[in-house]
A and B are shown apart, each in its own frame.
Chain A
């Protein structure tokens, strides 16, 4: 039987059994902010959270990541590649929207197969996801409008459902099924457990009331690049990068070298970057093709809802709603998409008038 039961007080046991083989990442509460960190003490794990403030992309695509280290002498440069990419990683307690975001990452980091980011892809290959369904999605969530679902299991290896006192454990991928089998001390799930899990999934899905007509968004974006709606959309934006930094699908990075001149060595690091920063597109000549806030706000929307569908046939948004509640100026993505959806209507009105 593939469905098992994990008691809530057995999380520590699960951790102890897996931590030898894996770097074990799970959500913890860091000064009021839920973030995925490498777990040292299983008691730190928080599973009854809404969604993490910092998306779990930080595990596979950390905000700063050393790509390689180097030493220099008068003639030569010696490069030391990363030695830790074979390490197995486990991300425990990830939500379905965030697990889905790794699918989008896979596209970006292996651009149609023409170019491959070995560091990201190797780590992803060695990663196992034990996800958990979203019993109580936030009101800002809209995953069901963007190919998601609070109980979407496709992107997981193992899927947990919080049944109250216990978790239902389901092996999803072959890797996950093997893992569940190895955990022989898990008890079997009863029919009642499965029924309860189904009910919870149904309630969760129904509780997502934000519906966005994404097809119209994608269609309207094809023709509204120069539309005045962008003036309105960007008006309240203060130009920080929180929407991008807290977005589980934003992948942009900058590359910097940190050189220690005294010891003739250094390291090349990639750090998160964002198209919301005016420096992002600043060229060496001094020219900046995206010099204004209007252009930058437009780019964020175009990238997720137009360029992503064009390049990968996928939406670049998983509907987690993080950008909605972290935006300091409350420039709500749902409102932005609604404005884009209404573009045509407005023009029709003009014709009638």
Chain B
């Protein structure tokens, strides 16, 4: 076995399930991934016909969280009379988490959705590879055995797969959708709880406040506020994002550090305990910013305090949206 073999099996299972869903009229459309036109990319695709299922792929560069296309900000998939279509969605674990959480937050109707689940084997860290290659054009990226092979005009470089996947994928424990057979074909699992050590952020947590501040400041110095991170996030679906509100204007829109930092800080806060750890925000960033340590820290707090992990089922309300009398309040300051 190797990643390459895994991928072949994943592709055939996705296509087989997609074909079955369409032929049995279980769904009207399927949202999946197709081959990208530039290396290190893939293109989300919506297919409607059985004969198109061979366009569906899986290749560790399918970094977009497809649940994004279900979120209310996107044009809803409807028939000519405006009725919702039944949707099949190719679902790695974090797409499953996002679908569940969108259902909890009443943004999608699970009756209309069938996930095509599979055991995701991780997403290549595009910006890390891009950064290491530098100013040479990458012409081809492929997986061979357990290596990522990156080719250019007259050069070739090998990257060990397990080291060059997203940090979030390295610690991921929800590789296939947590769902029942009613909502999912293919691989799925019913998870009640997971055990997570959050070892990936231990080093960052041990830094002093000044060091953390310096790290974040450094990471954000290239941000252009293109909002790709927000747009790619399946859980960022507000009709009007706080940063876009202009009556009144809450936040500055310039690329001064204060404005950039405010956007990223508040976006992370809005995802407290809601982030599904798909890493789409960092994968899509055109300048390679990865601040998932912040969302991971918030995920850790949600786990420790409320034993909550987002998107494990379609019922449990995220702690920041819920209130329970027995919630501890030891962090409240005494009045006298």
Residues of A at under 8 Å CB distance from B? 29-35, 46, 48-50, 53-54, 63-64, 136, 138-140, 235-236, 238-242, 245-246, 254, 256, 258, 269, 271, 277, 279, 292-294, 324-326, 328-332, 334-335
Residues of B within 8 A of A238 (CB): 64, 68, 228, 231-232, 284
Residues of B within 8 A of A138 (CB): 137
Distance in Å: Cβ of B281 to nearest Cβ of chain A: 10
Residues of B within 8 A of A279 (CB): 244, 246
Given A63-B255, A139-B139, A328-B232, A240 and B127 touching (CB < 8 A)?
A: no
Given A49-B135, A64-B255, A271-B253, A240 and B232 touching (CB < 8 A)?
A: yes
Residues of B within 8 A of A246 (CB): 224, 226, 286
| Total of A-B residue pairs, C-beta within 8 Å | 119
30 example contacts (A-B, Cβ-Cβ < 8 A) are as follows A29-B135, A30-B221, A30-B222, A31-B218, A32-B288, A34-B135, A48-B135, A50-B135, A53-B287, A138-B137, A139-B139, A236-B43, A238-B284, A239-B231, A240-B230, A240-B284, A245-B224, A245-B226, A246-B224, A246-B226, A246-B286, A256-B249, A258-B252, A328-B228, A328-B284, A330-B37, A330-B38, A330-B41, A332-B37, A332-B43
- Assess the B38–A46 pair: CB atoms within 8 A: no
- Assess the A329–B64 pair: CB atoms within 8 A: yes
Which residues 20-46 in B have Cβ within 8 Å of A in the complex?
Answer: 36-38, 41-46
Residues of B within 8 A of A324 (CB): 37-38
Please name the 8 residue pairs, one residue from A and one from B, whose CB atoms are nearest each other, closest first.
A328-B284, A240-B228, A240-B231, A64-B254, A32-B131, A330-B41, A326-B286, A332-B37
Distance in Å: Cβ of A287 to nearest Cβ of chain B: 15
B256 at the interface (CB under 8 A from A): yes
B85 at the interface (CB under 8 A from A): no
Residues of A within 8 A of B127 (CB): 32
Interface string of B44-78 (1 = CB under 8 A from A): 11100000000000000000100010000111000
B227 at the interface (CB under 8 A from A): yes
B130 at the interface (CB under 8 A from A): yes
- Assess the A330–B42 pair: CB atoms within 8 A: yes
Given A277-B244, A279-B244, A254 and B253 touching (CB < 8 A)?
A: yes
Q: Give the contacting residue for A334; candidates B37, B68, B226; CB below 8 A.
A: B37
With both beta carbons as reference points, the residue of chain A lying nearest to B68 in the complex is identified as A238
Residues of B within 8 A of A331 (CB): 43
With both beta carbons as reference points, the residue of chain A lying nearest to B228 in the complex is identified as A240
Interface string of B225-242 (1 = CB under 8 A from A): 111101110000000000
By CB atoms of chain B within 10 A, which of A236, A279, A294 has the most? A236
Task: For the complex, give the distance between the alpha carbons of A64 and B254 in Å.
Answer: 6
- Assess the B44–A293 pair: CB atoms within 8 A: no
- Assess the B226–A256 pair: CB atoms within 8 A: no
By CB atoms of chain B within 10 A, which of A136, A326, A330 has the most? A330
Task: For the complex, give the distance between the alpha carbons of A279 and B283 in Å.
Answer: 25
Q: Give the contacting residue for B75; candidates A240, A294, A329; CB below 8 A.
A: A294
Q: Apart from A136-B137, A258-B252, A328-B283, list 4 A-B contacts with CB within 8 A.
A: A31-B222, A31-B288, A239-B74, A240-B284
Given A33-B287, A330-B37, A54 and B224 touching (CB < 8 A)?
A: yes
Task: For the complex, give the distance between the alpha carbons of A334 and B255 in Å.
Answer: 30
- Assess the B226–A50 pair: CB atoms within 8 A: no
- Assess the A335–B286 pair: CB atoms within 8 A: no
Given A324-B38, A329-B44, A330-B42, A241 and B232 touching (CB < 8 A)?
A: no
Given A32-B131, A271-B253, A271-B254, A140 and B38 touching (CB < 8 A)?
A: yes
Residues of B at under 8 Å CB distance from A? 36-38, 41-46, 64, 68, 73-75, 127, 130-131, 134-137, 139, 153, 218, 221-222, 224-228, 230-232, 244, 246, 249, 252-256, 283-284, 286-288
Task: For the complex, give the distance between the alpha carbons of A246 and B222 in Å.
Answer: 13
With both beta carbons as reference points, the residue of chain A lying nearest to B287 in the complex is identified as A33
- Assess the A269–B254 pair: CB atoms within 8 A: yes
Residues of A within 8 A of B38 (CB): 140, 324-325, 330, 332
Task: For the complex, give the distance between the alpha carbons of A235 and B76 in Å.
Answer: 11
Given A139-B137, A238-B231, A294-B75, A31 and B287 touching (CB < 8 A)?
A: yes
With both beta carbons as reference points, the residue of chain A lying nearest to B130 in the complex is identified as A32
Residues of A within 8 A of B75 (CB): 292-294
Distance in Å: Cβ of B155 to nearest Cβ of chain A: 13
Q: Give the contacting residue for A328; candidates B64, B131, B139, B244; CB below 8 A.
A: B64
Task: For the complex, give the distance between the alpha carbons of A277 and B135 in Å.
Answer: 31
By CB atoms of chain A within 10 A, which of B228, B249, B288 has the most? B228
Residues of B within 8 A of A235 (CB): 44-46
With both beta carbons as reference points, the residue of chain A lying nearest to B63 in the complex is identified as A328
Distance in Å: Cβ of B96 to nearest Cβ of chain A: 20
With both beta carbons as reference points, the residue of chain B lying nearest to A334 in the complex is identified as B37
Q: Give the contacting residue for A241; candidates B36, B136, B226; CB below 8 A.
A: B226
Residues of B within 8 A of A294 (CB): 75
Distance in Å: Cβ of A119 to nearest Cβ of chain B: 17
Task: For the complex, give the distance between the alpha carbons of A275 and B177 in Å.
Answer: 36
- Assess the A330–B244 pair: CB atoms within 8 A: no
Task: For the complex, give the distance between the alpha carbons of A330 and B181 in Å.
Answer: 32
With both beta carbons as reference points, the residue of chain B lying nearest to A254 in the complex is identified as B253
With both beta carbons as reference points, the residue of chain A lying nearest to B38 in the complex is identified as A325
- Assess the B43–A330 pair: CB atoms within 8 A: yes
- Assess the B226–A329 pair: CB atoms within 8 A: no
Distance in Å: Cβ of B315 to nearest Cβ of chain A: 28
Residues of A within 8 A of B153 (CB): 136
Task: For the complex, give the distance between the alpha carbons of A329 and B280 in Å.
Answer: 11
- Assess the B74–A256 pair: CB atoms within 8 A: no
- Assess the A31–B221 pair: CB atoms within 8 A: yes
With both beta carbons as reference points, the residue of chain A lying nearest to B74 in the complex is identified as A293
With both beta carbons as reference points, the residue of chain B lying nearest to A141 in the complex is identified as B137
Residues of A within 8 A of B246 (CB): 279
Residues of B within 8 A of A34 (CB): 135
Task: For the complex, give the distance between the alpha carbons of A245 and B222 in Å.
Answer: 13
Residues of A within 8 A of B225 (CB): 63
Residues of A within 8 A of B36 (CB): 330
Q: Give the contacting residue for A63; candidates B137, B224, B286, B287; CB below 8 A.
A: B224
